[in-house]
Amino acid sequence: MKKYNVGIIGYSWAAGAHIEAINQTSLAQVTAICSSRNLNSKEISAKHGGTIKCYTDLAEMLADPELHIISICSYPAEHAEQAIMAAKAGKHLIIEKPVALSWEDCLAVQSAVESAGVRTCVCFECRFSSQLETTKAIIDKGLLGKIHYGEVDYYHGVGPWYGQFRWNIKKEAAGSSLLSAGCHALDALLFLMGNDVESVHSLATYSANEDFAKYEYPTTSVSVLKFDGGRIGKVSSVIDCLQPYYFHIHLIGSEGSLLDNKFYSTQMGGLNKNKWSELSMKMLDSGDVSDHPYQKQFETFFQAIDENKEMPLTSLTDALHTHEVLFAADQSAEQNG
Amino acid sequence: MKKYNVGIIGYSWAAGAHIEAINQTSLAQVTAICSSRNLNSKEISAKHGGTIKCYTDLAEMLADPELHIISICSYPAEHAEQAIMAAKAGKHLIIEKPVALSWEDCLAVQSAVESAGVRTCVCFECRFSSQLETTKAIIDKGLLGKIHYGEVDYYHGVGPWYGQFRWNIKKEAAGSSLLSAGCHALDALLFLMGNDVESVHSLATYSANEDFAKYEYPTTSVSVLKFDGGRIGKVSSVIDCLQPYYFHIHLIGSEGSLLDNKFYSTQMGGLNKNKWSELSMKMLDSGDVSDHPYQKQFETFFQAIDENKEMPLTSLTDALHTHEVLFAADQSAEQNG
Amino acid sequence: MKKYNVGIIGYSWAAGAHIEAINQTSLAQVTAICSSRNLNSKEISAKHGGTIKCYTDLAEMLADPELHIISICSYPAEHAEQAIMAAKAGKHLIIEKPVALSWEDCLAVQSAVESAGVRTCVCFECRFSSQLETTKAIIDKGLLGKIHYGEVDYYHGVGPWYGQFRWNIKKEAAGSSLLSAGCHALDALLFLMGNDVESVHSLATYSANEDFAKYEYPTTSVSVLKFDGGRIGKVSSVIDCLQPYYFHIHLIGSEGSLLDNKFYSTQMGGLNKNKWSELSMKMLDSGDVSDHPYQKQFETFFQAIDENKEMPLTSLTDALHTHEVLFAADQSAEQNG
Amino acid sequence: MKKYNVGIIGYSWAAGAHIEAINQTSLAQVTAICSSRNLNSKEISAKHGGTIKCYTDLAEMLADPELHIISICSYPAEHAEQAIMAAKAGKHLIIEKPVALSWEDCLAVQSAVESAGVRTCVCFECRFSSQLETTKAIIDKGLLGKIHYGEVDYYHGVGPWYGQFRWNIKKEAAGSSLLSAGCHALDALLFLMGNDVESVHSLATYSANEDFAKYEYPTTSVSVLKFDGGRIGKVSSVIDCLQPYYFHIHLIGSEGSLLDNKFYSTQMGGLNKNKWSELSMKMLDSGDVSDHPYQKQFETFFQAIDENKEMPLTSLTDALHTHEVLFAADQSAEQNG
Amino acid sequence: MKKYNVGIIGYSWAAGAHIEAINQTSLAQVTAICSSRNLNSKEISAKHGGTIKCYTDLAEMLADPELHIISICSYPAEHAEQAIMAAKAGKHLIIEKPVALSWEDCLAVQSAVESAGVRTCVCFECRFSSQLETTKAIIDKGLLGKIHYGEVDYYHGVGPWYGQFRWNIKKEAAGSSLLSAGCHALDALLFLMGNDVESVHSLATYSANEDFAKYEYPTTSVSVLKFDGGRIGKVSSVIDCLQPYYFHIHLIGSEGSLLDNKFYSTQMGGLNKNKWSELSMKMLDSGDVSDHPYQKQFETFFQAIDENKEMPLTSLTDALHTHEVLFAADQSAEQNG
Amino acid sequence: MKKYNVGIIGYSWAAGAHIEAINQTSLAQVTAICSSRNLNSKEISAKHGGTIKCYTDLAEMLADPELHIISICSYPAEHAEQAIMAAKAGKHLIIEKPVALSWEDCLAVQSAVESAGVRTCVCFECRFSSQLETTKAIIDKGLLGKIHYGEVDYYHGVGPWYGQFRWNIKKEAAGSSLLSAGCHALDALLFLMGNDVESVHSLATYSANEDFAKYEYPTTSVSVLKFDGGRIGKVSSVIDCLQPYYFHIHLIGSEGSLLDNKFYSTQMGGLNKNKWSELSMKMLDSGDVSDHPYQKQFETFFQAIDENKEMPLTSLTDALHTHEVLFAADQSAEQNG
């Protein structure tokens, strides 16, 4: 047996990815699942390995002292309440994004976590991807100098062909284009440019395509952000496009630029300024959660718990910076609507 | 002798491109140049072909009844006054962008042109480029459906290595990042998405690079636009980057997307949605005016004069739509600064 | 249970592809197989899913009133007789190509089908491929104008390394290069240029390679076709080559050309005429039946049955146009031999 | 002074290419031109180098005993008569293709040449191109085994944008699609597969494009050829297409295939049969005569004269093989029209 | 049952590859395994197919008269002794490289094999790879002329992420960089340039990387070889690099060069000397034994046994040429250390 | 007039490149040439610009007090003596490589330069190329860690098609493969790995190609070098190959590798180790001196003179390190011959 036992809330698409990733880490395994559906423990255990106890009552699962960590993979609207319950039960928390559907609920989660003194990891797992790790290294090596303009955008058509489309189209379930998916782009922008956002201005709109007409909220939005010192950022969140998945990053700095997997830098000898150099890395080119770097994120989280220190990069504190800007953006879009 | 004689104002970098392009059309030739420098008619004629008379006094040149068309290639700050003088003298007008450095001056030019009943062509020549012609055809064929989000951006580092850098850094000479160069991107966005802009919000900033520190105005700006019906557009104008020239176009429509020379459309049988199809066209990949499609624009203009009809695509009326939004964007950036 | 039950004749390579594709449609499943081999129903059911009854006597299988559709995957020489039997039994028909090994037999099948009033689908499934769907859309959008010359060719070395080589080499079993495989290319040409063929002239030959010496008929043929209005077509059928599989399409029209996945059109703004644009699509680049678009074809067929209308694109009527030209080509080749 | 003096007949586009290429050889120079236009010897000499005497009367030029070789670059309809005159005058002959516009005239030229005992070089210069030299070497090394099927095609839109379009559209001036241009493809096929053609069958047609409507003869033709031993060839000649220039070669042999610059061979160890190997060579990808390998052809011709032996590859005898098939093809097309 | 039974010594990573490859040949199957671990015959048989008897005592296994061939996949230090035992038992031998860890032991194996009159196959299986087969064919066709300089190098970082790293780091277990892995490169050089090596000079060194610090011997070596007639060769063996796997081959001959999958030759008509032609072949681009061409090598070996003739390319005699040079190289490196 | 006047010795191919490059710098111009040929000052001045005085007597040219710098572009055998004369005359020195044909002569030059106190620049201009500048920056940024193995090689077929072939084939004129050309590769290796070479071992050989048979010295050599601390280097110099020009660089370090324009580094976040990243830079891919970065080198030299400091990268001191190893390598090759 590995050191930590994890209980999952919700038995969704994301949950499947969490279970597989958690079981592949060196420190933890999934031993409990709580779902509104009546799951068969035997079947579930056989499917995922180990022994997994299945619950329909969350309080019951949280009462198990052998469970050290709770991973929340339920519908977004349930995240906050469940996170607060689990924190109060003294469990460390993995929370699928978003943390909550309102800023008030986010603050409530934060408060519960602080009171309970538990560790947290919010699934902005893209920060652990090859693409963002390399991009961050390029910046940290000084190859781009000081960045004064940055764009990170999310283009991914989430139509009827997607499993979560069923509930993702509801406003009370998914919230907004940014909340339901584009938050990864906004989070990446803050990761790369800093959290010191001074203002945000957003616009949002709809596609004329019939498939996307089922959405109860605008499926495309664009936000421009002003950072401390006058630096500028921009995030588009487009879940109603018909094209290849595209996680677009363009950073303009005083010593060079980075565009997706390409860069130019004055700091690398005699590079050709008129033709991009190319970095070989695994791009964020899929919306499929099974392609996402969950395992690396969870391994890091379990190590942090083990060493009794704060989760790097994606703690609740990190994630709330992103959520605060996100809710401000959605509010701006509504006002400008 | 071809049918129309053209007099050039200013003997700049742009003027060189105008002269060559005009002389290659089927209907017109350059026969006069007015410059503050004392040019030698013989040398200038030998260099450009034909017989070119050189003036230092504009009124004198305009007094020549043999001149049918005036092309204004002087500093931007002089455009408006010279355009008004030439219109009053009954000359048809070619005006290098921008038309003027303020919206008031634009309106004054418009008024003079209307009074004089002369024809006009403003150098938003990119509308005649292979890239924009093909992009427009893709839209007109319905391959993208209805476009609800569009980005057109201008990335071109205009540093000390550029001839016009000398005066381009001055606020009263060049105006802003958009006015001095990025207007081509804004103009393209309106060309592709329509003129019915309802609001614009902009932010602007500076690079920390020493070379670009000489600019008296912010060299990077981003603007988000709201069009009639809630459609959204976005324009970045970046003249302080260190990277390959990039005229970025990304259009999201109800039936497909276009990204630079790539597209996907539901309207083309069984295209692969996960891999872009590629259009072979001449991209706008250079800030060098000698690469710009002036000749096609001028040929079209001379034909329009000959057929006594409005210049298509780049008449003063067309151009003023773009200027109006541009000045609104610059004002917004200043307020948000 | 889905709505329609399908019985398969023959348990060959093609049959395997049919069964898998039929079971993946929304309207039908395979419930019976008739083979000269004594198959075990239990094993077969376990392998393919559902409950499959196995017969060795065709009349017996056809007598089952629960069977609605018969799919003929036997040796080509048996197709016609079995199709007639099944039609007489009132079953709708899926027929693997070719329909028969002579034009007379084709007509007999047609007559039986018409008398019985059953629906038909002949496996020219390439018409449902991404490549041909997109190519047809390009034509239908007018991008090529009027096509006056078209080539569709089939290059696929069918040697001892291929399962069906064993019987494919026999003249009475496979017929000719066109009948055994190249008919897909001829069918595609008629699909793209029309059925109105006025004459055909063919030549056929053999490879000097030892492996291909086992063929009892010429393994390479070329045919030139004259269409109504003087348009010209050409089909090569080469099953004795040593090279990558190649389904070559080259169409010359009054407004552009298409070469495989590449095109140029005057109707798309300013495309570069000297460099092909490229369509991203799944090419017909394999002779493996498991790569062929059977499922889409069968889904369409079952929908057509359900709506009581003619199968689009690959009904017996459509297929007989191709067969008529094919037999004329083979006759011409023999005369010119 | 180099050893041989050449007189040019006609001062056309092709003549320009001949003059430049001849003057770059080691053995000859152009010293005379005969044109219907009154050319100025001084200007012409200055332009091309050396001393060039200009004539309007052919007999006069031919009377010059210092002239050793005559290059015929006039309109095709004049070739035969001029060749006969020059041969009678004892001059060696360079003849631009075609040799004549009828087979009878070809035979008359042959007869005159034989009587006079002069050397000949007909401009099927593509045989000296990197592409055909390499393709021939691939065959000669046995990499393709015995070729049983070969296609060589000529795709080149010769429209109003081409200088020779003016006269090329006339039937009596240019003859046919094959005669005016496609003969290079037919000649290449015979070069690669042999001269032993037993029969030819052709079809010809027109484009519906307005620009090409000016042609007095069918602008697209396809011919299938039967060679000794049953081998098959096919030549398309298309001068009314809108696409990149394409000299298409596809050879199918008993040990491999060659497609343009790609090949597979069983004779090269463990090459991958499913992916082409690629030859780096200068492709025939332009109809511009200045891109054609004239110099190598002429150098070879002058060496042959110098060594008093037959011109290799493109002697009149070689060329007449191609012409004989060509006229048979055109006759077939007319009969099948 | 196929004709030959094979017994495996050692149940390692390599053994797995041997078993799978042997069982896929047409002439032999694995029927016995001898391992220091107590293997369960039933499990092992189920895993690999057929009936496999498991031994822990080698003498016992060798006593089985039904076993015809022994494949030695144990630790390198055990190869020699086991080979001698098996030869004495009259078994034909497959020996994983290296044959032994000293030249003396190699000679002892050779002596035992000669006395016993058994057939041998040493696993320099790369000689049967697509890359080396094609490269050899290029040479044998004369495309490179006479080779006077050749480089074959092995770049493959064998760090903690590799299974065999555990024992590969020990000097007494693995010997040297060349012995443990780079011998494939040295063997390929001799295969391509001949066995007539006159002298070798080597240098060896270590990486400063912590992971590679665990090696007890130098992990990088370079050797220069002088062949008969003054020809030169060079082999680098680098198992401490951080980069993609690279089996580098560069051959310089009197008529051309080959660089990996690229070549130029004067013997192929008019190839472009300034741009490489490219061969499509399966490159040696992985250190994973399951990617190696064992099956082809073993099929060849079993055929040789069946026809009672010497194994081509990789007999013990062939392999000892390589080993002799290898030990000389390692000795030279030590002297120069 | 710019500040420094330069006199050129020799009017060769290299001289042409020097003159053009010197005249394009900001600080110097060519004002004198000394050649054994009687040059016409007027013509030479017209050709190169400015006023150039032509000499046949070196002493006379050196006597001109207006000349500040001498650039030695004569035959290699004359370099040393002329350099000593010029140094004694108090001129700063540009010396084409090699400095001399023996180490003794190198030392004599060094001694003269030290006595005279003049500044020196030896034409190892590749150190100023985009490729080597970027490669050095990669190393200096620590991206490769500590380099323990490096290869730099020179592949360039110098045959009869090359101007300098005439004298390059003579041993007393050109010396050796390394001296005549490959020294650029050796110099680059020392630039990248340091000057602390402890030993060198070389082999040399000849091509069997007829064209290269005219060389009086071995045209291919390979050298292995041992650096301080046991690091290893290797240089091939091949001037008798038939292939594209190739300046091959492969560096193996403790944190990554660089291969030509490709690299992998553990220091750049999550780069893919199995696929190279690519640097966009101007490669050393031509032996043509007009492609070499002379201008940058000379500009740097004139600045160094102006600031009265040592020339960076290519001073005589730097160059002599390379020459010392080079002569040792040639001596080793001779001993091992």
Q: How many CB atoms lie within 10 A of CB D172?
A: 12
Spatial distance between the Cα atoms of F319 and F310, rounded to a whole number of angstroms: 13
Give every strand in the sheet of E28-34, ordered side by side.
Answer: E53-55, E28-34, E4-9, E69-72, E92-95, E120-122
Query: A84, A55, A75: which is closest to A13 by C-alpha?
Result: A75
pLDDT of C13 > 90? The answer is: no
Say if the Cβ atoms of D242 and C273 lie within 8 Å.
Answer: yes
| B188 within domain boundaries | yes
> Each residue of F37-78: pLDDT tens digit?
999 999 999 999 999 999 999 999 999 999 999 999 999 999
Q: Is residue E302 part of a domain?
A: no
Q: Does the structure show a pLDDT above 80 at E289? A: no
CA dihedral (B101, B107, B110, B111) positive or negative: negative
CA distance A140 to chain F (A): 9
Report pLDDT for B337.
Answer: 82
Measured between beta carbons, the chain D residues lying within 8 angstroms of E300 are none
pLDDT at res. B61: 98
- The answer to whether the Cβ–Cβ distance between B252 and A238 falls below 8 Å is yes
How many contacts (CB atoms, under 8 Å) link A and F? 83
Window D:14-43, CB contacts with C under 8 Å: none
pLDDT tens, residue by residue, C25-81: 999 999 999 999 999 999 999 999 999 999 999 999 999 999 999 999 999 999 999
Q: What is the pLDDT of residues C264-297, one digit of tens each?
A: 999 999 999 999 999 999 999 887 777 789 999 9
CA distance E279 to E293: 19
State which residues form the domain around F273.
126-291+321-336
Assess whether F236 and F260 both reside in one domain: yes
Instruction: Give chain A positions within 8 Å (CB) of B224.
Output: 201, 203, 222, 224
Based on the domain organization, do F332 and F192 belong to the same domain? yes
Q: Which residues of D201-224 are buried (b: 16+ CB within 10 A; e: fewer)?
A: bbbbbbbbbebbeebebbbbbbbb
Say whether B236 and A149 touch across the interface (CB within 8 A): yes
Q: Do D243 and C257 touch (CB under 8 A)?
A: yes
Query: Residue A287: what pLDDT?
Result: 77
Within a 10 A sphere around the Cβ of B75, how many other Cβ atoms? 18
Instruction: Tell me what pLDDT residue C12 has.
Output: 87
User: Cβ D279–E280 below 8 Å, yes or no?
Assistant: no
Together in a domain, B20 and B143: no
Same domain for B106 and B131, yes or no, is no
CA distance D171 to D272: 48
In D, minimum Cα distance to E261 occurs at D277
Least CB-CB distance to C278: which of B129, B270, B278?
B278
Neighbours of chain D (3+ CB pairs under 8 A): C, E
Question: Do the chains contact at E148 and F264, CB–CB below 8 Å?
Answer: no
pLDDT confidence bin for A17, thresholds 50/70/90: very high
**Domain boundary at C66, C92, C118, which?**
C118
Give the closest-approach CA distance of F181 to chain E in angstroms: 17
Distance from CA of A141 to the nearest CA of F (A): 8
Res. E285 pLDDT band, cuts 50 70 90:
confident
- In chain C, the residue whose alpha carbon lies closest to the alpha carbon of B278 is C278
Contact C279 B268 (CB under 8 A): yes
CATH number of residue C236's parent domain: 3.30.360.10
Q: Give the pLDDT confidence of B171-227 residue by residue, as tens digits.
A: 999 999 999 999 999 999 999 999 999 999 999 999 999 999 999 999 999 999 999
Contacts of F209 (CB under 8 A, 6+ apart): E145, E254, E255, F240, F242
| Residue among E264, E267, E279 minimizing CB distance to D271 | E279
Which chains sit next to B, with 3 or more Cβ pairs under 8 A? A, C
Instruction: Flag if A242 and B273 touch (Cβ within 8 Å).
Output: yes
Contacts of B274 in chain A (CB under 8 A): 244-245
Q: What is the pLDDT of residue B335?
A: 96
pLDDT confidence bin for D35, thresholds 50/70/90 = very high
Residues C187, C277 within the same domain = yes
* Residue at C298 is within a domain: no
**Cβ atoms of D192 and D185 closer than 8 Å:** no
Q: Which residue of F has its CA nearest to A143?
A: F141
- Phi first, then psi: give them for residue E252, nearest 5 degrees: -115, 115
Cross-chain Cβ contact B269/C129 below 8 Å: no
In angstroms, the separation between the Cα of residue E130 and the nearest Cα of chain F is 21
Q: Are strands C147-155 and C246-253 parallel, antiparallel or unpaired?
A: antiparallel
Does B87 share its domain with B153?
A: no
Same domain, F186 and F327: yes
Share of chain E above pLDDT 70, in %: 100
Of E238, E256, E337, the CB nearest to F149: E238
Report whether D293 contacts D129 (CB < 8 A): yes
B32 neighbors B5 (Cβ within 8 angstroms): yes
Q: What is the mean pLDDT of residues B1-9?
A: 95
The pLDDT of residue E131 is: 96
- Given an 8 Å threshold on Cβ–Cβ distance, is C271 in contact with B134? yes
> Considering chain D, what is the average pLDDT of its residues?
96
Say which CATH number the domain at E38 has. Answer: 3.40.50.720
Residue F154 domain-assigned (yes or no): yes
Per-residue pLDDT at C292 = 85
The pLDDT tens digits for B237-287 are: 999 999 999 999 999 999 999 999 999 999 999 999 999 999 999 999 887
Contacting chains of A (3 CB pairs or more, <8 Å) are: B, F
Q: Give the residue from D257, D280, D284 with the most E CB atoms within 10 Å of its CB, the best one to mutate.
A: D280
Cβ atoms B130, C272 nearer than 8 A: yes
Asked if the structure places residue F326 within a domain, the reply is yes
Report if residue A301 sits inside a domain.
Answer: no
C271 contacts on B by Cβ (under 8 Å): 130, 134, 279-281
Portion 214-233 of D in contact with C at CB < 8 A:
220, 222, 224, 226, 230-232
Determine the residue of chain B that is closest to A237 in CA distance: B149
* Torsion region of D10: left, alpha or beta (phi above 0 gives left; psi -120 to 50 gives alpha): left
- State residue A242's pLDDT score: 98
Q: Measure in Å the smallest separation between the Cα of D258 and chain C Cα atoms.
A: 8
Restricting to D residues 246-275, those with a Cβ less than 8 Å away from any Cβ of C are 246, 252-257, 259, 264-266, 273-275
* Same domain as D264, residue D224: yes
> Do D284 and D176 share a structural domain?
yes
Cβ separation A280–F281 shorter than 8 A? no
Q: How far is CA D47 from CA D12, D28, D162, D214, in A?
A: 15, 17, 23, 35
CB contact under 8 A, B275 and C271: no
Interface test with B, best of A139, A146, A210, A243 (most B CBs within 10 A): A243
For residue D286, the model assigns a pLDDT of: 82
Same domain? C200 vs C95: no
Distance from CA of E310 to the nearest CA of D (A): 21
Residue C189 lies in a domain: yes
pLDDT of residue F164: 87
CA distance C65 to C5: 10
The count of domains in chain B is 2
Q: Which chains touch F (3 or more CB pairs under 8 A)?
A: A, E
Provide the pLDDT for residue D8. Answer: 98
Task: Mark which residues 92-151 of E lie under 8 Å from F by CB.
Answer: 145-146, 148-149, 151
Contact across the interface for F277 and A272, Cβ inside 8 Å:
no
C-D C-beta contacts closer than 8 Å: 145
- Amino acid in the structure at residue C148: H
Tell me the backbone φ, ψ of residue E320, rounded to 5 degrees.
Answer: -70, -30
List pLDDT tens digits, range D71-111.
Answer: 999 999 999 999 999 999 999 999 999 999 999 999 999 99
pTM of this prediction? 0.96
Measured in angstroms, the CA of B303 and the nearest CA of chain A are apart by 37
pLDDT exceeds 90 at position F13: no
Share of chain D above pLDDT 70, in %: 100
Strands of B92-95's sheet, edge to edge? B53-55, B28-34, B4-9, B69-72, B92-95, B120-122
Contact F246 E234 (CB under 8 A): no
Same domain, B241 and B176: yes
Say whether B269 and C130 touch across the interface (CB within 8 A).
yes
Q: Which of B212, B231, B264 lies closest to A243 in CB terms?
A: B264
Domain boundary among E118, E139, E156: E118
User: What is the predicted pLDDT for the residue at B288?
Assistant: 76
Place of tokens 């109860």: A216
Decide: E and B in contact? Rule: 3+ Cβ pairs under 8 Å.
no
Chain C: closest CA distance from residue D110 (Å): 32
Average pLDDT over residues E117-135: 97
C107-148 pLDDT, tens per residue?
Answer: 999 999 999 999 999 999 999 999 999 999 999 999 999 999
Using one digit for the tens of pLDDT, what is the confidence trace for F210-250?
999 999 999 999 999 999 999 999 999 999 999 999 999 99
- Residue F283 Cα, gap to closest chain E Cα (Å): 14
- Say whether pLDDT at A289 is over 80: no
Query: pLDDT of C208-226, one tens digit each?
Result: 999 999 999 999 999 999 9
Measured CA to CA, the distance from residue E175 to residue E188 in angstroms comes to: 20
Domain assignment present for residue D153? The answer is yes
Domain end marker among C118, C135, C164: C118
Based on the domain organization, do C158 and C110 belong to the same domain? no
